[in-house]
Amino acid sequence: MQRVLFHSTIFGPIRSRRLGSSLGINLMPDDGKICSFDCLYCEAGFNAQGPGTTGLPSRDDVRRMLDERLCAMKENGEPLDVITFSGNGEPTLHPDFAGVVDDVIELRDKYFPSVKISVLTNSTRLGDKDVAAALAKVDNNIMKLDSLNERTVRILDRPAPGFDIEKTVERLAAFGKGGIVQTMLTRGSYNGETVDNTTAEELDALIEAYKTISPREIMIYTIDRPAPAATLERIPRDEMERIGNIIRTRTSIPVQVSC
């Protein structure tokens, strides 16, 4: 079974397709995964690998480790574009997520005031007012919306019980221009069920949702590294560009295509 990619709380900087030189913050365990989705394409592997043994880093530990790392990067003149919350699961599940965001903003302002702060979230915790308020403080809320079709979401994203697509769209819309919506485009099969969120029907529904949400930007991307579900396809560049153009034309919202 594919295992987690990130083995520390602070990792990188790595060269991100979408974000540039990115110093990562992993608020989940170093040796396991915790997420409210269990996406077939997750670079951290499936949830079945378990939560590991290290537990979640405390707010104080995250602050200390980030302070040390940013201080060293500044002394060494290392370039940095963005500090990104991602890692082995859903960062907003950390019980001190809002406090950690405050610390990261303070440390960013101290060492690299022009650097952006991004959070990659699966949008499942937007109904928590503390999480939503914390997300509203960062530069880039990059919030997942892969499909409006319940069957597709069930197969592709495999949410924990209680996930509600319509409520999620409402909550994304509350961010409006303050948010960025990201969509993974892929197709394939898993356990005998096929999935494809690049069909005309899927794209029509996504476009209507994007128009309702009216985010600052839409990011579409496709499989980059081998996915835990090996049959999932990387969508060819020309098709991604074509889909990006359709979304741009029909929504009048900027679209970033990563492939």
How far apart are CB 39 and ligand SF4 at their closest, in Å?
3
What are the C-alpha distances in Å from 55 to residues 6, 27, 157, 162?
A: 14, 10, 24, 25
CB 84 within 8 A of CB 2: no
Query: What's CA 109's distance to the chain center, in Å?
Result: 23
Of residues 6, 37, 175, 221, which one binds ligand SF4 by CB under 6 A?
37
The dihedral sign for the CA sequence 48, 53, 54, 59: positive
Stretch that binds ligand SF4, among 35-43, 72-80, 99-107, 198-206 (CB under 6 A): 35-43
DSSP string for residues in 53-95 = SS-PPPHHHHHHHHHHHHHHHHHHT----EEEEESSB-GGGST
Q: Which of 30, 41, 36 is nearest to 4 (CA)?
A: 30
Which CB sits closer to ligand SF4, 57 or 107?
Answer: 57
Q: Does 32 interact with ligand SF4 (rule: CB under 6 A)?
A: no
Specify the stretch interacting with ligand SF4 by CB under 6 A; choose among 33-41, 129-137, 169-177, 216-224.
33-41
Query: Applying CB under 6 A, which part among 15-23, 37-45, 77-85, 204-212 lies near ligand SF4?
Result: 37-45
Q: How far is the CB of 42 from ligand SF4 (least distance, A)?
A: 3
Task: Give the single-character DSSP code of 177.
Answer: G
Mention every residue, 6+ apart, whose C-beta is less than 8 A from residue 45: 1, 2, 3, 4, 5, 33, 228
Q: Is 38 in the site for ligand SF4 (CB under 6 A)?
A: yes
Out of 84, 118, 122, 251, which residue is the one contacting ligand SF4 (CB under 6 A)?
122
Please give the residues from 78 up to 107 whose contact with ligand SF4 meets the rule CB under 6 A.
89-90
- The reply to whether 35 sits near ligand SF4 by the rule CB under 6 A is yes
Residue numbers of the site for ligand SF4 (CB under 6 A)? 35, 37-39, 42, 44, 89-90, 122
